[in-house]
Amino acid sequence: MVEIVTLTEALIPISDMTKLVNRNRQTLWAWWNNGKFPAPIIQNGKTIGWRKSDYINWLIKNQAQVSLKPELSKRC
């Protein structure tokens, strides 16, 4: 799918995204391929980054999923 991007929205480059989620590039690609992470913006076959809004929405969605999980029992 080809997507036309306007540069009015801030993009997060992959180097910054790996720091934000504390994961490497390979993990981000695996998450994306498995539908667990937003698709990056790709131009001319190169990843230029992720929309800031997509990242924030992903954070909100995952925070909701984490908060719905039952607490793990404490080990003595």
Among 38, 33, 63, smallest CA distance to 51 is for 38
In a domain, 22, yes or no: yes
Kindly report the pTM of this predicted structure: 0.69
In a domain, 4, yes or no: no
> Is residue 16 a contact partner of residue 8, using CB atoms and an 8 Å limit?
no
In a domain, 73, yes or no: no
In a domain, 75, yes or no: no
What pLDDT sits at residue 73? 41
> Residue 9: pLDDT band by 50, 70, 90 thresholds?
confident
Helices (H), 1-76: 14-21, 25-33, 52-68
Domain that holds residue 42: 14-68
Tell me the C-alpha to C-alpha distance, in Å, between residue 16 and each of 11, 53, 72, 73: 10, 15, 31, 35
pLDDT tens-digit series, residues 11-51 = 899 999 999 999 999 999 999 999 999 999 887 778 789 99
d(CA 2, CA 13): 19
In a domain, 2, yes or no: no
Q: How many domains does the chain have?
A: 1
What pLDDT sits at residue 70? 52
In a domain, 8, yes or no: no
In a domain, 9, yes or no: no
